[in-house]
Amino acid sequence: MERFGPPGGLGGGLEGSLGGMGVGDSSCGTILAVVYTTTAVMFSILCLRLYVRWRHSGIRLDDWAHVAASCFAIAAATVMALGVRYGLGRHKLDINPIETIHGLKWNWILNLMFIITTFVVRMAICSSLLYLAWRDRIFRFTIYGLMVFMITYSVAFWLPTILECQPQKFIYDKISRQDGECLPVGVMRGLEIMHTLMNSATGAVLVGLLVAIQWGRVMEEKLKYGPGVVVLLGLL
């Protein structure tokens, strides 16, 4: 644990400040545009999915899993929007001390929400894959194993994030006079990188499973190029 005393200035400012930004610059509009656009697209796709299910085969349990995942994603987008309100996307010298505390608090909450949301989204995808692979034991056990793996690494990354500093308030408020201890910055950065790599790896595996499950169902040879397109989109 690294020990910190009361800092003389703002502490660290928001980590959301983008590289290359100068004093007076702002990326708030860009961040909000991306958040609103992706959220609107996600919500539209979810509504179309539910409508098609309702018209043709009825809404299943995995559809409700995707509804839950969408709720978590919307909550994470809301937290990010609040982070913009308190400094995300601005240079740290343009953020006053009070905004710094609130901004770092929302940034910390966003990190926790991101871990939970990525986990819930992947579990929802796994629930859909289980429906597709209900006749194949190998695929089913592979999906179950992947779900256990995702639970394990999500908890392993979530706990250090929530217990990063003692007292906990010291995570986002180093302006107070209270001394505190935090995990080394290098450790937290390493965990963030590992979590990103794990998410990328599990995403690639999920795409591969979808292609493998669907491959045997495609009867016409010319349609087998479709899974290749899915793989490319998944990797992107």
Write the pLDDT tens digit of every residue in 21-42.
Answer: 555 567 888 889 999 999 999 9
- Residue 189's Cβ-side half-sphere holds a number of Cα atoms within 13 Å equal to 4
CA–CA gap between residue 227 and residue 133 (Å, rounded): 16
Q: Is residue 14 part of a domain?
A: no
* Per-residue pLDDT band at 56 (split at 50, 70, 90): confident
Across 197-215, average pLDDT: 88
Q: Is residue 189 part of a domain?
A: yes
Q: Is residue 4 part of a domain?
A: no
How do residues 1-14 score in pLDDT, each as one tens digit?
A: 554 444 433 334 45
Q: Is residue 11 part of a domain?
A: no
Q: Is residue 122 part of a domain?
A: yes
Across 95-109, average pLDDT: 83
**pLDDT(71) > 90:** yes
Q: Is residue 15 part of a domain?
A: no
**Residue with structure tokens 């009070």?**
98
What's the pLDDT at 125?
92
pTM (2 decimals)? Answer: 0.77
CA–CA gap between residue 177 and residue 183 (Å, rounded): 19
What's the pLDDT at 31?
87
What's the pLDDT at 101?
83
What's the pLDDT at 215?
75
Q: Is residue 176 part of a domain?
A: yes
The answer to whether the CB of 90 falls within 8 A of the CB of 13 is no
**Residue with structure tokens 């989109």?**
233
SS3 of residue 181 by DSSP? strand
CA–CA gap between residue 153 and residue 168 (Å, rounded): 22
Across 79-97, average pLDDT: 80
- Domain region containing 225: 27-235
Q: Is residue 136 part of a domain?
A: yes
The answer to whether the CB of 49 falls within 8 A of the CB of 66 is yes
The answer to whether the CB of 119 falls within 8 A of the CB of 129 is no
The answer to whether the CB of 82 falls within 8 A of the CB of 16 is no
How do residues 125-153 score in pLDDT, each as one tens digit?
A: 999 999 888 888 899 999 999 999 999 99
**pLDDT(119) > 50:** yes
Give the number of domains in the chain: 1
CB proximity list for 113: less than 8 A, separation 6 or greater: 72, 75, 76, 79
Residues in the chain: 236
Strand ranges (E), 186-229 = none
